[in-house]
Amino acid sequence: MGTLYVWLDRRVEYTEEEVSVVLGVPIDDDLKISSRYELCRRVEETFGIPKESFWQLQSTQKIRFAVQQARNLQKEVANGR
């Protein structure tokens, strides 16, 4: 099912509005044109996790990872780091 989803997603044409701002957050130009795979690779590089590991996760696992990382960052900010 995941392969089918990726195949379908590659064929979706997103509007400028859909890629320019996500939930009120302006998106950088390079990220606007990145594929799902490229975005997953960025996450792997940013957080120092093995190549293909984030890409292979199910969508809900990716969301859990993102929420936990955001929570960890908020704790660091609150602790003055």
With a threshold of 0.85, does the pTM exceed it? no
DSSP SS3 for 23: coil
CB 27 within 8 Å of CB 21? yes
Hey, which residues does 21 pair with through a beta bridge? 26
Query: What pLDDT was estimated at residue 9?
Result: 66
pLDDT digits (tens, 9 = 90+) for 47-75: 999 999 999 999 999 999 999 999 999 99
Give the residues across from 25 on adjacent strands.
22
> What's the domain range around 15?
2-78
11-31 average pLDDT score = 90
> Cα–Cα distance between 41 and 46 in angstroms, integer?
8
The count of structural domains within the chain is 1
For 26, what's the count of Cα atoms within 13 Å in the CB-facing half-sphere? 2
What's at 20, amino acid-wise? S
Sorting pLDDT into bands at 50, 70 and 90, what band is 16? Answer: confident
